[in-house]
Structure 1
């Protein structure tokens, strides 16, 4: 008898587990459960029953316990059972969201609409900062309401929050979509919440979840607003969107994966938001994409290992994020790439094929890798800079600034003389690395405006190769090295433009004034 009872218990558990798995999968995919005709002879009994039938065909144990093989008193096929399982899952999700919110402040967002039965319903979304410092936006509850009057909405929202011990005093923002009375400045819902909590400020937010779904959208420019929320997944429906600009807003969440299939895109500008997650794998392979600007977000993960297609990228700016791992070689195969800014990330290593003949095809105007954790030799980087002036439609003015920076990394060995081949280079910052050896004479002879080699382990003397023809030098920083000898006398030729000369914490031995010409310099900054 005990063995029979134990077997029955195991069978019941397997049956219920199968039902729960089907309900969870259908709910996650947003699929309908029931069908128009669920009778045994129907060719389409609905997703729930047909999914059970599919699972039963692969598992004999399941097949003996579900559908027509189940005991008449425990089939568990009814819509009521399905709803009860859904409600259990919904409670577990809400409890997890409530746990993540904790006692911290949060924002409330509401969508009001009618369902298929014409009943008013209200979706409640919570926005909060999790324990890792990321902004999260979670669908929390769906409440049916008898009308959209202000008091009804206020009472329903307050009841839903109180049920989960969410204190109204912790609200730090509110946003709405739907009924017009939800936007009233004085007598609307936001005014009532402001009365209860003076910090529950109203803000606009990105409301249409089907934005771009009409298939005709070609340009979307939302620059510099207070838009919050996440980007809708169907933003490029119809594959006609060419320019997407959401810079300088308060958007959260990941970049929609659907963008990597948007072959019409030429410009993506999403900088200065709170986007997180990883970058879509094939985003940089889009055939018409020229500008990608994702700076100042919270993007993480790694670069894709390879590109699916050739790319026309001209500008790539992913600075000030949390990208880590390897700096891939495919970036240097982008023939059109002119501006590359990957500064302020957590990049660690260089691709071993980075400087191969097949890889080294890019020629930059700006190459900014500062504030990462890159290590190895500078000679590994293909340092090719363009020898012409630059104008691109993505920028507003002519640019003649040719800039290279690896400030605050872990590069070692000597400074490669190949850098001197970039004759129009105007700014070089190699400071705060582990560089050794002597300063290349050709580097001093370049017509630079800024040269910063501070915070390394450079030795020897400063080359005496400042030329009368090179009158552009404004900043020369050599501090924190082991340089010795006297200051080069040819440095006096730079007096007309020199604004900063910093040679502190070295072994320089000279007299001050360093040379007669320094008596006539108008208030430069000297650090010796």
Structure 2
């Protein structure tokens, strides 16, 4: 409603108020401590406003809160340790502020927490507190672009309820924990743009995975054959790593695969011959590898194919005629020395 000014203290004259939702307005000023007088408040959403200053050290006066969201403001300083005493919290949102302290380990005491977001803040370079792995009910865990350093703790595999994990855009190092790919409920895994190294875990039992983005790291070794078991996988991004070996042929048979980006690695062999046969691929990006052979014939069956980037490889044979029949195709970038019989018409951009 674009309401500005401050939240009036008299709102707590509503003695039975349990929900206060001020999302997406233009409220200003410091954290509205007058709301401590709303003794029955359970849900407080102050997100997407213009609040400034600190979160009060006695934030635990909201003893009944199950949801607190202050994301999208200009709060700064530390997140107070007292937050760990709000034992009824299920949702906690601190993302997109200007917090510049450290990650309070006391959050690990919130045993009922299901959703935690602290992304896009200027925290001091800090390790992920090991206490956070005690959050056994946590489903949504979002701490991207927040100066995380060090390794991802192996105990993260004990967070059995995790459905979405986003630690992208930090400075994490070390290996990807093997336990991470054992989480049965995990559907989204974003670890891109870190400094992770070593191999991708070989054994994958997280069969509910829908999106995997491990791009822009220092990963080595081969792509796990077990990725071919991920029948729900729609997005696989592994570009800007140092992966080698062949692409498992079983990935070409994944029925839900839409976005497939493996460029700028050291992959060899042929593209999975059945790539596009069972799924409606939209993007295929495999440039800057050492691939040989032809573009898979079944890519033409996708129907939604919008982009093919395969330059800087050793592909050979004829340029497929089906490229000219893909009405949704916007970008073709091949740049190959060995392709023959270049004859096609596409609406959009063609780079050969």
- Give the TM-score taking structure 2 as reference length: 0.80
CA positional deviation for 1:176:
8.7
Matches within 5 A, 1:254-269: 254-269=102-117
Cα distance change of structure 1 residues 204 and 306 upon mapping to structure 2, 3 Å threshold: closer
Deviation of 1:509 after TM superposition, in Å, equals: 3.4
The 5-angstrom pairing of residues 117-156 of structure 1 reads: none
Match of 1:507 in 2: 337
The farther-off stretch of 235-244 and 202-211 is 202-211
Bigger-Rg structure (1/2): 1
Does the Cα contact within 8 Å between 1:485 and 1:507 map onto a contact in 2? Answer: no
User: What is the alpha-carbon distance in structure 1 between the residues aligned to residue 120 and residue 349 of structure 2?
Assistant: 34
Task: Give CA-to-partner distance per residue, 1:30-70, whole Å, 9 cap, x none.
Answer: xxxxxxxxxxxxxxxxxxxxxxxxxxxxxxxxxxxxxxxxx
Q: Give, in angstroms, the shift of residue 361 of structure 1.
A: 3.2
Structure 1 SS opposite 2:189: strand
Q: How does 1:63-212 map to 2 (within 5 A)?
A: 204-212=52-60
CA contact (8 A) 2:334 2:351 kept: yes
2:349 counterpart residue number: 525
Aligned residue for 2:312, secondary structure, equals coil
The CA distance in 2 between the partners of 1:218 and 1:382, in whole Å, is 37
SS state of the match for residue 378, structure 1?
coil
Alignment partner, residue 145 of structure 2: 296
Contact map agreement 1:213 1:237 (CA 8 A) in 2: no
1:403 deviates by 0.9
Q: CA deviation at 1:490?
A: 3.1
Q: Which residue pairs with 2:5 in the alignment? A: none
Is residue 2:268 matched to residue 1:442?
no
CA deviations 1:457-511 (Å, max 9, x no partner) are 11123233344x43111101101111122212233332x111100001x223334
Report if aligned partners of 1:328, 1:350 keep a CA contact under 8 Å in 2.
Answer: no
- CA 1:511–1:420 in structure 2 vs 1: closer, same or farther (change >3 Å)? closer
Find the counterpart in structure 1 of residue 192 from structure 2: 343
Once the 2 structures are TM-superposed, how far is the Cα of residue 443 of structure 1 from its aligned partner?
1.4
CA displacement 1:87-107 (0-9 Å, x = unmatched):
xxxxxxxxxxxxxxxxxxxxx
**1:128 alignment counterpart:** none
Q: Shift in Å at residue 418 of structure 1?
A: 1.8
Cross-structure match for 2:74: 226
Matched, 1:253 2:101: yes
The structure whose residues are more often helix, as a share, is 1
Is the counterpart of residue 432 in structure 1 residue 264 in structure 2?
Answer: yes
Q: Tell me, what secondary structure is at the counterpart of 2:207? A: coil
| Equivalent of 1:367 in 212, 225, 232 | 212
**Is residue 378 of structure 1 aligned with residue 220 of structure 2?**
no
2:290 to 457, 467, 485: 457
Task: Determine helix, strand or coil for the equivalent of 1:284.
Answer: helix
Residues of 1 paired with 2:266 and 2:247: CA distance? 10
What is the CA RMSD across the aligned residues, in angstroms?
Answer: 2.4
Q: Cα distance, 1:238 vs. partner?
A: 4.3
Conserved in 2, the CA contact under 8 Å of 1:285 and 1:308? no
Partner of 2:119: 271
> 1 or 2, which has the higher strand percentage?
2
Conserved in 2, the CA contact under 8 Å of 1:213 and 1:235? no
**Post-superposition shift, 1:207?**
4.1
Whole-angstrom CA distance in 2 between matches of 1:509 and 1:425: 27
Do the aligned partners of 1:363 and 1:384 also contact (CA within 8 Å) in 2? no
Query: Residues 461 and 483 of structure 1 are in contact (CA less than 8 Å); yes or no, is this contact kept in structure 2?
Result: yes
**CA positional deviation for 1:308:** 7.5
CA distance in 2, matches of 1:402, 1:267: 24
CA displacement, residues 75-132 of structure 1 (integer Å, 9 cap, x when unaligned): xxxxxxxxxxxxxxxxxxxxxxxxxxxxxxxxxxxxxxxxxxxxxxxxxxxxxxxxxx
Residues 195-254 of structure 1, C-alpha deviation per residue, up to 9 Å, x if partnerless?
Answer: xxxxxxx98211412222553332211111111111101102041111110111101222
